[in-house]
Structures are given as C-alpha cells and as structure tokens.
Amino acid sequence: MKKSAILAVLIFALSLTVSLAFAAEVDGIDDNDHVALAKHYEVLAKEAETKLQENKAVLEEYENHSYYYGRQGQDVKSHTTANIREYEKLLAESLSNADTHHRIAMDQQNSDAINKAKLNLDNYTTVQ
C-alpha cells in the first residue's frame, strides 16, 4: 500500500520536473523557427501521453484493488485523477500548439515560394 502511494508521488514529482525543463527549452528555440517549435510540442505531447497512460494504469490498479491501499487510497485516487486531468490538458495544448506551428511553417514556406516566383517575374525581361 505504501509503495503505490510513493510511486504516485514520484511520478508526479518527475512529471513536474520534466514539464519545467521543457518549458525552459522553448526559450532556446528561435521564435521564427516554427518547424522546431512544432517538433518540440510534438515531443511534449508524446511525453504527456506516456505519463497520462501511466497515471491511468495507477488509477485502474487502485480501482481493481482499492482494499490494498487502506486509508491512503483516497489520496492516491484523487492525486492520480488530478494528474490525469492535467496530462490530458497538457496533451491537448501541446497538440494544438504543434498544429499551429506546423500551419505557420507551411504558410511561411508558401509565402517564400510566392515571393521567389514574384522576384523571378520581376527580373524577367522580354526580348523584342
């Protein structure tokens, strides 16, 4: 019973540390490098998905064997449920941010292609 409670606390502490580390990494990426930002948010989404599945497994274990947990069981359940909500929120935000940066990167590429085509047309001279 104590092992599960300790495991839940360790998972939460590790996830908080990882979240803070990734939050600091965004500052290292150029704001105009939307491809890198999209990849960053995709990695963050994958890690959130992994942590979400781990917390769902802990909750399922609790629900299947709640009698193992004694009085601390409700703490484990509420803590794990809160973690699940937070990871679902983080996952949705990360996927949304990744999608947004993918679209911006594609728009920039299309804009660059249009500008290059216009430049080529401007340089084009007709021979008479």
pTM value is 0.66
Q: Is the distance from CB of 48 to CB of 91 less than 8 angstroms? A: yes
Which residues contact residue 54 at a Cβ distance below 8 angstroms, ignoring those fewer than 6 apart? 11
Quick check: 122 pLDDT over 80? no
Residue 114 to residues 72, 108, 121, Cα–Cα distance (Å):
63, 10, 10
pLDDT at residue 71, rounded to an integer: 87
pLDDT at residue 19, rounded to an integer: 58
Q: What is the pLDDT of residues 58-81, one digit of tens each?
A: 999 999 999 998 888 899 999 999
